[in-house]
Structures are given as C-alpha cells and as structure tokens.
Amino acid sequence: MHVKEIETVSNLEPFERYNYFIKKIADFEILYSLKSLEGNFAISETNNKYMFPIWSHEEFAKLNLNKEWENFEICEISLEELEEGIFHFILENNYLINVFPMNNKTGFVVNLEEFKRDLSIELENYQ
C-alpha cells in the first residue's frame, strides 16, 4: 500500500473511511482486526457499548497497535470467515462494528444489520 494512500485515507472523516472500507472489502474480500496473544479479538468500549474494530488493510490496523492494544497482533479475516463466523460472534455478544478507528478515535460505528446491508449492496456491484 502506498504511503500517500495511507495518509489520505487516515485523514478522512469516519463516514468517508467507512465508504472506502466497504468498497475495498467488496473488491478484495479481506479485512483486518486485532487479536490478543491468547486469541481473543480486540474489543473497545465507549459509553457502555462494546465494539469490534475492523480495517480494510493491514497497514491501517498496524497504525492502531497503540497502548491499549500493544499486546495484540493483526489478524486477516476473509469475507467468508466474516460471514460464516464473525457475524455470529458479533451478534451473539451484541457488539457494534467500529469500522476504521484511527488515532485512538472511534471510526464509523454501525450495527450488524446496517453493516451487512451496506456490504451486500456493494458486493452486488461486483457480480
């Protein structure tokens, strides 16, 4: 990934990063999150809401290995894994999806149904 693209996308507003994310995931069918050394996903909390963070590229996830998540590793998730396992994990735990958090700030937060809808609409463009 080109440094200029990382810089440009990192500086977008959360909703613009969300739109970028949806297009990239529909195109490449890969996304990234963080896992602890014990294998637990990184979960953030704001206002008593728990959120599952995801990014469109490993480089963006790497930028978020901050103090809170310094002992976490980047994990690659295929679109198939997302749909067949992660969606159930998110639903079961009543998590929101924190799409593209950056610089210790929350990204664009959506519930699972909104996320599925937006991703499904974008995936239709690739069929």
What pLDDT score does 91 carry?
A: 97
Q: What is the pLDDT of residues 1-38, one digit of tens each?
A: 788 999 999 999 999 999 999 999 999 999 999 999 99
Please tell me what DSSP assigns to residue 40.
P
Span 35-80, pLDDT tens digits: 999 999 999 998 899 999 999 999 999 998 988 888 899 999 999 9
Q: What 3-state class would DSSP assign to 112? A: helix
Interatomic CA distance for residues 119 and 34, integer angstroms: 21
In whole angstroms, give the CA distance from residue 107 to residue 113. Answer: 17
